[in-house]
Amino acid sequence: MYLVNCWIEHSNLKVNKTFSYINDFYIEKGIRVRVNFNRKDVIGFVDDCIKITDLEKLEENLGYSLKYINCVVDEKSVLTEELFELGKWLSNQTLTPTISCFKTMLPKKIKPISNSGNAVKIKVVKSKDLNGKLTLKQQKAYDFLKFNENITLNEFRNIFKSVVKSLLEKNAIEIYEVEKENSVKLKNYNMSDDLILTKEQKNAFDNILKSENNIVLLNGVTGSGKTEIYLQLAREIINQNKQVLFLVPEISLTPQMVQRVKSRFFNDVAIYHSGLNDQEKYEEYKKVLNNKVKIVIGTRSAIFMPFSNLGLIIMDEEHDLSYKQDNTPQYHCRDIAIKRAENFGCKVLLGSATPSLESYARALKGVYKLVELNSRINNKMPKIKTVNITKEMKNNKNYIISEVLKEKIQDRLNNNKQVILLLNRRGFNTFSRCQNCNNVIMCPHCDISMSYHRDIKMLKCHICNTTMPYPKVCPKCNSVDSYSSFGFGTQRLEEEVKSIFKNAKVLRMDADTTSKKNSHEHILESFSKHEADILLGTQMISKGLDYPSVTLVGILNADAGLNRVDYRSQEIIYDILTQASGRSGRSDEEGEVIIQVFDEDNYVIKSVLKQDYKTFFNREMMYRKAGGYPPYNYLISVVFSGRKKEVINNEAYNFKEKLIGNFNILGPSELLKINDQYRFRIILKGKNIDEMRENIQKLLNENTFMCSLKIDVNPLVLD
């Protein structure tokens, strides 16, 4: 008899602990079972399994009788031992129930949940030892099978019509089912060879390899050849017969990166990201679990792949916000990368042209090894200039595209070059106001103004996607046709560009044009083939693109986000502007960048102009220190939300009262309403993150709450 302790699938479970059942035989850790819990049949996830000799005595000690598990779901554990422990660690780090962490880590088909769905199976054919005689036709098919093991029944039937039945009757073949394996179809790219590293690249490469510190930050300006270094490091590790994980922020935005990895490592590559369907994810996961691939390229969720022999983790654009998960558990991929590298005793390489302040500060302190690349491969940094839009407006000039930018775009069009235009606002207009009473139309469910979208002729909320028609009559003052729209988004910019440059081909890339699967790839591929002259869009187009014909980047409304209250808004804007600028002039010709701003004197804009990360870093660190923000202190944010404002406010106050320790507590402060949910937030701020965590964990264990709580340890943004 065995005592089986398992984690139970249950969303309402506040208590973060295992429950005990019994079984006649031993069950391995990480196997899913079905058990009864509160009279329901639910999935459990086996943690440990202990032999018991005296059940009666055990039950007597426990004070209740134990139930049998209903059945075992998996043949083999779906998690490695290392991942199992990682799940528990993650629970602790993010203050999330362990079962939620396991759910996050696993692809849907093997999640510990009831509706996970089954793996897709296919029929394959195999030859058996032959006893009788075959006809000529049958013999041919039979021989074919000897050289084509495990061909699918469908393929076999297509080649040898009408022999399957007779071969089966003669007991010459058998048909059996296997799990489907190769649903993810990647284009076959031409193989490419390693480039010869420049002296600076070679130096960096050597320093990374021989670093005694296993956490390395590679800070290299845009176009300095970081990717080439990643690929050659990967080769080095694969040659040692170890696995490599290559993390990128968003795969659909960087099809070029997949192409570069694929063209070097061909069939040794697995790919993992949120764009895959459940079956595809499951297959890719199994490929890694069964050690069938050597390198995995993927986004945030790929950090949970079941490696057994990991030799290197590369995290490209380590500063990117998409590495942080928004839902519970709100983990940061970088923290897990560092933890797993520690588990495997391997290196983790963080790469960026604009490292997060946290990482760069750690590198300067020697916590991470710092390796830098200061020049571009082509030795030509782009020339960056600002245009003061306030002045343009005063002179009654076009305030969307300045004269200077207009001229430069025309110049590129004349010379058959390409242009990228960044405007970090989608829609046509950004808000609508009544000319009579100044009423601005807000979303009925959220505290933000509605944006006008001309394609659907509707106002749209960018938080909850509610749409409504443009009001004919003002709901406040009853004036008729009194509304005008202001501000401009990418749709308006597209119209403007097309009306000025009548012959130019223009592509727009933003959340509205990329809602369909693979639409990102189509737009980028078309641009890379030079089927369009101008690519315009939101910050999606600022990442990682490497197109040799792009020699001009224009950034519109560049300082729009700088006056947000969030402590990281300056850093975010600096990153976007620098990364977008970095798309210009990456090949033979020097690039140019035009940044349109309202305030040229802002230090963020000035540092972008000078292409000087260090000056920006030092200045920004001063502000962070003065405000006590990261990396000088740790933060934990707790957001209380629900439909009844008073209740939520009270819960937040009560929570705050019960916190005691060597840290500051800010708030509760009211946040913007979202989806009809009122929200209040408190922030813990201090040097001892463990103490802060323990405090919150204790309150979670000891209390029940009248509203929902969202806990974010080390929040990246606080807006």
d(CA 92, CA 99): 12
CA 701/CA 563 separation, integer angstroms = 39
Secondary structure E strands in 391-468? 418-423, 431-434, 451-453, 458-460, 467-468
Query: Which of the stretches 63-71, 266-274, 390-398, 433-441 binds Zn ion when contact is defined by CB under 5 A?
Result: 433-441
Please, which residue, 219 or 677, has the CB nearer to Zn ion?
677
Nearer to ligand ADP by Cβ, of 353 and 573: the residue is 353
227 touches, from ligand ADP, Zn ion, none (C-beta below 5 to 8 Å by class): ligand ADP
Closest CA to 219 of 392, 65, 363: 363
In the complex, least distance from residue 128 CB atom to ligand ADP, rounded to whole angstroms: 52
With tokens 């209380």, the residue in question is: 640
Nearest to 579 by CA among 614, 543, 550: 543
Q: What SS3 class is residue 475?
A: coil
**Residue closer to Zn ion, measured from CB, 437 or 622:** 437
Distance, CA of 42 to CA of 22 (rounded, Å):
15
Interface residue with Zn ion, options 184, 442, 464, 506 (CB under 5 A): 464
Pick between residue 546 and residue 600 the one whose CB is nearest to ligand ADP.
Answer: 546
Is 440 among the residues that bind Zn ion (CB under 5 A)?
no
Which of Zn ion, ligand ADP, none binds 195 (CB below 5-8 Å, type-dependent)? ligand ADP
Q: Which of 73, 153, 463, 647 binds Zn ion (CB under 5 A)?
A: 463
The option from ligand ADP, Zn ion, none interacting with 46 (CB < 5 to 8 A, set by class) reads none
| 226 binds, options Zn ion, ligand ADP, none, Cβ within 5 to 8 A by partner type | ligand ADP
Tell me how far, at minimum, the Cβ of 367 lies from ligand ADP, in Å.
23
Element (H, E) at 499: helix 490-500
Select 93 or 432, whichever has its Cβ closest to Zn ion.
432
Min dist CB 201 to ligand ADP, Å, is 6
Q: How far is the CB of 563 from Zn ion (least distance, A)?
A: 22
Q: Which of 83/461 has CB closer to Zn ion?
A: 461
Instruction: Give the tokens for residue 168.
Output: 């089966």
C-alpha distances in Å from residue 673, one per residue of 420, 640, 676, 718: 35, 12, 6, 15
Residue 91: contacted member of Zn ion, ligand ADP, none (CB under 5 to 8 Å, by partner type): none
User: If contact means CB under 5 to 8 A according to the sort of partner, which of ligand ADP, Zn ion, none does residue 339 touch?
Assistant: none
Q: Which residues pair with 42 in a beta bridge?
A: 35
The residue among 234 and 713 lying less far from ligand ADP, judged by its C-beta, is 234
Closest contact distance (angstroms) between CB of 591 and Zn ion is: 39
Q: Which stretch binds Zn ion (CB under 5 A): 125-133, 201-209, 411-419, 474-482?
A: 474-482
Pick what 565 binds: Zn ion, ligand ADP, none; C-beta below 5 to 8 Å, kind-dependent: none
Non-local CB neighbours of 83 within 8 Å, separated by 6+ positions: 30, 105, 304, 306
Q: Give the pair of three-digit tokens for residue 254.
A: 């960087």
Per-residue interface string for the shown chain with Zn ion, residues 389-418, x marking contact by CB under 5 A: ------------------------------
The option from Zn ion, ligand ADP, none interacting with 71 (CB < 5 to 8 A, set by class) reads none
Contact between 434 and Zn ion (CB under 5 A)?
yes
Instruction: Report what 222 binds from ligand ADP, Zn ion, none; CB cut-off 5-8 Å by kind.
Output: ligand ADP
Of 352 and 482, CB closest to ligand ADP: 352
**Nearer Cβ to Zn ion (13/440):** 440
- By beta-carbon proximity to ligand ADP, the closer residue of 228 and 559 is 228
Residues lying near ligand ADP in the complex (CB under 6 A) are found at 195-198, 201, 220, 222-228, 377, 546, 586
Strand partners, 442: 449
Type of residue numbered 606: K
575 phi/psi in degrees, rounded to 5:
-60, -50
Q: Which of 339, 445, 606, 656 binds Zn ion (CB under 5 A)?
A: 445
Q: How far apart are CA 696 and CA 669, in angstroms?
A: 18
C-beta separation of 641 from 648 below 8 A: yes
Cite the DSSP H helix spans in 552-630: 569-581, 603-610, 613-627
Q: How far is the CB of 590 from ligand ADP (least distance, A)?
A: 14
Cβ at position 246, least distance to ligand ADP in Å? 12
575-579: list long-range contacts, CB under 8 Å, 24+ apart: 575/319, 575/354, 576/422, 576/424, 576/539, 576/542, 577/604, 577/605, 577/608, 578/222, 578/353, 578/354, 578/608, 578/611, 578/613, 579/222, 579/317, 579/353, 579/354, 579/542, 579/543, 579/544
Least distance CB 446 / Zn ion (angstroms) = 3
Work out what residue 446 binds among ligand ADP, Zn ion, none; the CB cut-off runs from 5 to 8 Å by kind: Zn ion
* Binds 464: which of Zn ion, ligand ADP, none (CB < 5-8 Å by kind): Zn ion
State which H helix or E strand residue 305 sits in. Answer: none
Contact between 476 and Zn ion per CB under 5 A: yes
- Token readout for 238 is 């694969």
Is 147 exposed, middle or buried (CB count within 10 Å of its CB: 0-12, 13-18, 19+)? exposed
Stretch that binds Zn ion, among 151-159, 258-266, 439-447, 525-533 (CB under 5 A): 439-447
Strand locations in 430-513 (E): 431-434, 451-453, 458-460, 467-468, 483-486, 506-509
DSSP 8-state secondary structure symbol assigned to residue 38: T
Residue 436 found at the interface with Zn ion (CB under 5 A): yes
Question: What residues does 419 pair with on adjacent strands?
Answer: 534, 552
Number of residues that bind Zn ion (CB under 5 A): 15
| 461 binds, options Zn ion, ligand ADP, none, Cβ within 5 to 8 A by partner type | Zn ion
Chain residues that interact with Zn ion, rule: CB under 5 A = 434, 436-437, 439, 443, 445-446, 461, 463-464, 466, 474, 476-477, 479
